Every structure is written in C-alpha cells, then in structure tokens.
Amino acid sequence: MPKVLALVNQKGGVGKSTLSVHLAIVLAVQGFRTLFIDADPQANSTYSLGIDASEEACLQLFVDRKNIKSPPIQTAEVLSGVRLDVIPAWITMGLIERWPDIKSAPDPKVVTDRLQQAIAARDYDWIIVDGPPHLGYWNQVVLNLADRALVPVPQAGNYPLVGLMQMASTIDSVRMRDNHRLQLLGVVSTMVDKRTQMGRTALERVKIFAEHIHTFQTQIPHATAIEWAQSQKGTNLFATGRDEPVAVSIVNLMEEVKQRWQQSVETR
Ligand SMILES: Nc1ncnc2c1ncn2[C@@H]1O[C@H](COP(=O)(O)OP(=O)(O)OP(=O)(O)O)[C@@H](O)[C@H]1O
Ligand SMILES: [Mg+2]
C-alpha cells in the first residue's frame, strides 16, 4: 500500500506546492516509486513539473468518469534520469465548485474511490498530493485520499496559524466521518528568515498556537533560490541549486516525515 501524504492549508501562498513538488522529487531521487497528484485547479505544481496538461487528461477525469480505466498519469523527468509520475491539474477543475454545477458533481468520496481504484495496480511506494487553498470540493477529495496531512505554516503573522486551526478541525471531522486512516502528521515552518525576531521565534509561535499538534524540527528557510528555481516551467531546486540550504532542509524534512510517519503507525 502506498503512503499518501497531502500538503494542506486552506490559507493561500503558504508553500504547499513548493514543498509538495520538492518532497516528491526527493522521494523519486531516492528510488521510491512515487506519484504526484496536483489537486489544485491553479495547477502551479503541474507547471512547475513541466507537464503539458489538458482538460481531458487531469484529475477532473475522475469526476466526469470518462476513460476511468486509464488514469491520466504523465511522467516528468525531474532530473537527468529521474522520473516522477504525475496526475496533473487543469484550471477548469475549479468550475466544479461553481453554483449550480456543484449540485450535479459526484460526492468527493466517490471521486476518491475512482482515483484509488485506477491507481491501485501501479504499486506506488508514496503518493504526494498538493492541496488547494480552500476547504472546498478538491480539499475533500484530498482529505479522503490521504493517510497523513502535513501543514506548512510560513513566517507571516498569525493568519496562516488561523488556517492551521481550521484545517486541524476539518481533518478531525473527515477522520471521524469518512477516512479513518487520516492523521495530521504535523506542521512545518516555512519561509523562515532567522535574521528577524519573527524568524527566530517562528517555531515557538507555532508551538504556542497549536500546542497539541506536532511541529517538525526542520524549518524551511526563506530563500531566493526557490523563486529562481520556479522562474521557468519544468525547473526545480534540485536542478538549479541542490547545495542551497533550502534544498538541504527539504531533504531533511522528508527524513523527519518518514520517522514521524513510523511513530504514528506504532502509536496508533
Ligand atoms: N522557502 C521559500 N522561500 C522563498 N519563497 C518561497 C518559499 N516557499 C515558497 N515560496 C514562494 O511563495 C509563493 C507561494 O508558494 P506556493 O505557491 O508554494 O504556496 P501555496 O501554498 O501552494 O499557494 P496556493 O495556496 O496559492 O496554492 C511562491 O511564489 C513561491 O515561490
Ligand atoms: Mg499551491
């Protein structure tokens, strides 16, 4: 069974796409059979991975039930000789949430079931899912699919922390109602600038605000190397700056996620 890790926070711009893409690349480099699912109609990760998506060949397929036996899996060459399977997003996925179209859409649980059936034969080790910046339809699909959720919280005042608390209670209700596997794995501080007082205390602020939620020791620094890596379609940090501290921090975070995952299985 694959481990399904979703990057979620309904607050926008917290680093979900950046982290999810790079965590998936780390796993692919390490030789794990990895699938990346872009569940955000903005399709930022799809662009970042250099995928040419289309309306007919994206996650929307599982809503429309067309061609369900052949999932729209594409392959990105993320580094020379390193390939990552991707189910892309497409901008029109957002229309599903439009009134009154939402009334005729299948229950998100149905979409998750179709998706799980379609990828079951592929034998992945890991599935990394990039979630959208809201608590709507696609977020429900993501939380129904995921085993564990990782919430990025940037060093940017308290708004993303409010988003964290809303996400934590949403995860609790999805776990009780639909997906008993789902657990909030923890919070990771992103875009941290240690030169500032806010940066030096970023982790402490998360701990105070959400004392019952696990916080990862690894912090992701604010780095222009990220913006540089994302300046063109199909590039990534490991191609443009693999020795940068921010790249090292993402590798370290993936190791910590694996350890925390193991602990969460043992203490269940
Ligand atoms: N560690 C970082 N250092 C500097 N910039 C970063 C870092 N992480 C992300 N960014 C930048 O912050 C912006 C938001 O990041 P990203 O798109 O990953 O967030 P998101 O949570 O996926 O956003 P959305 O909610 O819109 O999907 C992007 O322009 C990205 O380049
Ligand atoms: Mg995003």
Helix residue ranges, H only, the chain:
16-29, 44-48, 61-64, 101-104, 108-119, 137-145, 159-177, 197-200, 202-209, 224-229, 237-240, 245-266
Going from the Cα of 117 to the center of ligand 1, the distance in angstroms, rounded, reads 32
Going from the Cα of 33 to the center of ligand 1, the distance in angstroms, rounded, reads 26
At residue 137, the pLDDT reads 96
Task: Tell if the pTM clears 0.95, that is, is over it.
Answer: yes
Going from the Cα of 119 to the center of ligand 1, the distance in angstroms, rounded, reads 28
The ligand 1 site (C-beta within 6 Å) comprises 12-18, 40, 42, 44, 133, 190-191, 220, 222-223, 226-227, 230, 246
At residue 268, the pLDDT reads 67
CA distances (Å), 52 to each of 48, 76, 202, in order? 10, 10, 37
At residue 173, the pLDDT reads 96
What single-letter DSSP state applies at residue 83? Answer: E
Structure token digits, residue 85: 């399977």
pLDDT in tens, the chain (268 residues): 999 999 999 999 999 999 999 999 999 999 999 999 999 999 999 999 999 989 889 999 999 987 677 889 999 999 999 999 999 999 999 999 998 889 999 999 999 999 999 999 899 999 999 999 999 999 999 999 999 999 999 887 777 777 788 899 999 999 999 999 999 999 999 999 888 877 667 677 778 877 889 999 999 999 999 999 999 999 999 999 899 999 999 999 999 999 999 999 987 6
Q: Which domains does the chain have, with CATH numbers?
A: 3-266 (3.40.50.300)
Ligand 1 site-directed mutation target among 9, 93, 226, 244, most atoms within 8 Å of CB: 226
